[in-house]
Amino acid sequence: MTAHILLIEPESKLAKFIALELKQAGYQVTEWLSEFPDLTRLSLKPFSLAIFDLQRLKFSGLETQRQVQAIAQRMPVIWLSAMDRDEVCQSFNQFDSEIKDHLLFKPFSIEELLLRIYTRLNR
């Protein structure tokens, strides 16, 4: 069965590039180009893995933090970020350290992303 990956990346050029590469690697991809996606929609469709752009999520609210934590517990997640590493670690201060282990900082190579996807899906 082909893994179904949810890609939440509001930069359309980057999203199209990532989606194309993932499809060429044999994955089914659903793109959400939303600036601030409704995370509750994740329960509508079963995904094998989610890729999120951290900068687009609102981490100021406790409810958003709870939603993100719940997502990470339900499915494998890879977090993308163009933010400073220290800033990201502070944002995740209350989160499980496992989430920090799955951050990929921009710019990144597509090979590194594909390796992380493979690793997360085959745990």
Please tell me the distance from the alpha carbon of residue 79 to that of residue 62, in angstroms, as a whole number: 18
Cβ atoms of 3 and 121 closer than 8 Å: yes
Q: Is 117 a domain residue? A: yes
Q: pLDDT tens across 16-43, in order?
A: 999 999 999 999 999 887 666 666 666 6
Count Cβ atoms below 10 Å from residue 86 Cβ, excluding itself: 8
Output the pLDDT for position 65.
Answer: 57
Tokens of 69: 């934590």
Structural domain boundaries, residue 115: 78-123
Tell me how many domains the chain contains: 1
What are the pLDDT digits (tens) for 96-118?
555 666 788 888 999 999 999 99
